Structure 1
């Protein structure tokens, strides 16, 4: 089987082991790579009970984007499946995607159907421009078809295209918007991303994030990364002009209401954006053309 599986983990050791026990029967003939992103605690002894698993233990915390990139760089196969440590496979139906990649040379990634803790099925999404910002939401249906992005917690992608795109951008560390960013760059480069409702996983979102970060911190990082995404990727001049006034308005609201999400998010976005190198753009489609895809 020409698939490598990358599982990043951070201080979620018990759930990692429990889910490995459930998932490994479906991962036969796959290369399995676990990336421990907690430099303060080794999980070698926990992983020793499993055979044929490659364990990478980071010496510094890289966040989700960096941890995945390390895992992908060690993958030996043409295709890479990403699984969060809180994701449970229901079967090995993901293996059928190899045929789909063969049929469609433009296909970059396939996103899975995720059954969340409240029973709602996610995994198919849209992006749209509104009031100076790029917004995201669930798609109005969960039938097979194009999706705005492949979910970082459960997807499979072509490794060569991932590397050509520059992988996940570590500017989004520790989490959020990195999968949207990668997928948007893929769409602009002329690739395609598909949602397949027949590949179903159970995913308890934010089980790791929520246990390690406060809600205010999570919201601040999410807003910061939303800004960075726009500054990195949006080239349309009209969108950029309206975005400037929208950001200034949000910042003033933050000052008046003492809302740290807008204040800290804006300031940290500027600092991160200036101090980090940018991915090389591979643009075939315009912003307008990409966003029009998800109106259909």
Structure 2
């Protein structure tokens, strides 16, 4: 369903509070901010929430972008925790209409924000608008087209279009099930649905949870294919960092299922998930990722109380 006209529609009161999380990515955050200040959309304020960086990020931001609202956390509060700090700051200091959530390794196209705001003005039921996200390091390849596909009967949650070459197959704006982490959210949605659930800290599925809560309240999530962002993302690592990542993703995945699945979905999942877990174990064994398997099981067991 195409909701957009040829030209973005903006109102004078459409102030966007842009919340950017940063953690030890000085060069990336500077590139991100540079792209933000090149946008053709003029009504915005930038809030950088630094999650306990130990590099020179904070110093560099203060030097290069002194007008940015900078919130310095002493420790890493995770994605949900960090974003909630940004939301609270915006609530106390800005009269905004929308919140744009970005990560430090994101750059945004010049017209992306104008396009996303235009979607809100086209349909009053929309609560979240998402862009087409490209992989920065693999030109022309999609990270996700709008967000996530979520099936609570099978437990499958996946990025729409991930890894596919962009050949125009996702050039249709439409309503989707769940946003990704990079999205424009209305202030009305936050007031009605609430902020991010910090039980999803440090990272993993907090964006899907917010989307499902929003849909339950009657809000719609709209993918605008004309809005483009570029995400560097992280490579799969080893050692302590990857085991912490796998622990968090596993724990939060099962927390998400437990939180949102109804009785009929849980009955189906009771048959599907054991097979899913077995396939994951087999895959990781073939890769020799024994610590990863341990971390994933610790994540699952942490929810059994």
1:144 touches 1:196 (CA, 8 Å); kept in 2?
yes
1:184 to 212, 216, 220: 212
2:158 to 136, 139, 151: 136
Deviation digits for residues 40-87 of structure 1, max 9, x if unmatched?
A: 567442122213200001123210111111111222211011111111
Q: Distance in 2 between matches of 1:245 and 1:63?
A: 32
* 2:46 pairs with 1:36: no
* 2:124 pairs with 1:105: yes
Cα 1:110/1:250, change in 2 over 3 Å: closer
Cα 1:212/1:200, change in 2 over 3 Å: farther
**Structure 1 residue 95, shift from structure 2 partner:** 2.1
1:146 to 168, 171, 175: 175
Give the secondary-structure state (helix, strand or coil) at the position aligned to 1:200.
Answer: strand
Q: Distance in 2 between matches of 1:96 and 1:250?
A: 39
2:244 touches 2:295 (CA, 8 Å); kept in 1?
no
Counterpart in the other structure of 1:230: 257
Q: Distance in 2 between matches of 1:273 and 1:199?
A: 41
Cα 1:210/1:15, change in 2 over 3 Å: farther
2:23 touches 2:53 (CA, 8 Å); kept in 1?
no
Q: TM-score, normalised by structure 2?
A: 0.76
**Structure 1 residue 260, shift from structure 2 partner:** 5.0
1:220 touches 1:262 (CA, 8 Å); kept in 2?
no
2:176 touches 2:223 (CA, 8 Å); kept in 1?
yes
Q: Distance in 2 between matches of 1:4 and 1:39?
A: 22
- Give 1:1-150 correspondences, 5 Å limit: 1-26=14-39, 28-38=42-52, 40=54, 43-49=57-63, 50-75=65-90, 76=94, 77-116=96-135, 117-118=137-138, 119-121=140-142, 122-124=144-146, 125-129=148-152, 131=154, 133-138=155-160, 141-150=170-179
**Runs (5+) with no aligned partner, structure 2:** 1-13, 162-168
Cα 1:142/1:202, change in 2 over 3 Å: same
**Structure 1 residue 272, shift from structure 2 partner:** 5.1
2:16 touches 2:44 (CA, 8 Å); kept in 1?
yes
Q: Distance in 2 between matches of 1:47 and 1:205?
A: 21
2:47 touches 2:68 (CA, 8 Å); kept in 1?
yes
Q: Distance in 2 between matches of 1:212 and 1:44?
A: 27
**Structure 1 residue 158, shift from structure 2 partner:** 0.4
2:106 touches 2:232 (CA, 8 Å); kept in 1?
yes
Cα 1:210/1:79, change in 2 over 3 Å: farther
1:168 to 192, 196, 208: 196
Q: Distance in 2 between matches of 1:213 and 1:104?
A: 46
**Structure 1 residue 163, shift from structure 2 partner:** 3.5
Q: Distance in 2 between matches of 1:78 and 1:97?
A: 13
Deviation digits for residues 122-180 of structure 1, max 9, x if unmatched?
A: 2333222454x24334157442001222221x211102312422221111111121111
Name the count of aligned residue pairs.
270
Cα 1:212/1:93, change in 2 over 3 Å: farther
